[in-house]
Amino acid sequence: MITEERLRQTFSEGGALEIYQEVKESGDFQGFAHRYVFSEDYRVARSALWGLTKARKEELSQLQVILNELIDQAMQTDNSSVRRLSLNIIERLEMSEDDLRTDFLDFCLDHMMDVEEFPGVQAVCMKLAYRMCKFYSELMEELKRTLEAMEIDYYKPAVKCARNRILNGKLK
């Protein structure tokens, strides 16, 4: 049974997989997310998010209705693990033109360029910025200019790869 105490103590890949399996068996991804993903205890939120990253895209689609709450969490948390895991789940959800939030686009643009940010966060922010900008040609042109102007030597391979995929038109 999943409890806050159990989530507080989950620090392994195997533990995250066990959590995912239990949520999958219950079929209640949305209920699980509401109960644990937004916990003020970052260990609980981190473990819940980690378990959800194991879900298939169809399963994660249940979380579409809390997209804005996940975005708020990613932008407001002080915990880098919670931020990274929230962004990874957001990236796997559908994003339409109606979902475009300028505050989130600004957040992604800032964090993708921040050399102090973790590479995993930078890369996923870059991908999310691309997904938001592709709805508007003027934003896409601005994003491409920004990516081309990056001093790429200061970035890790994950960031370089995401940048190159966007500039070469290989990111979906």
CA angle (28, 33, 36) in 5-degree steps: 120
Q: pLDDT of the chain along its 172 residues, tens only?
A: 899 999 999 789 999 999 999 999 999 999 999 999 999 999 999 999 999 999 999 999 999 999 999 999 999 999 999 999 999 999 999 999 998 999 999 999 999 999 899 999 999 999 999 999 999 999 999 999 999 999 988 899 999 999 999 999 888 7
Structure pTM?
0.93
Per-domain residue ranges of the chain: 1-94, 97-172
CB atoms within 10 A of CB 165: 16
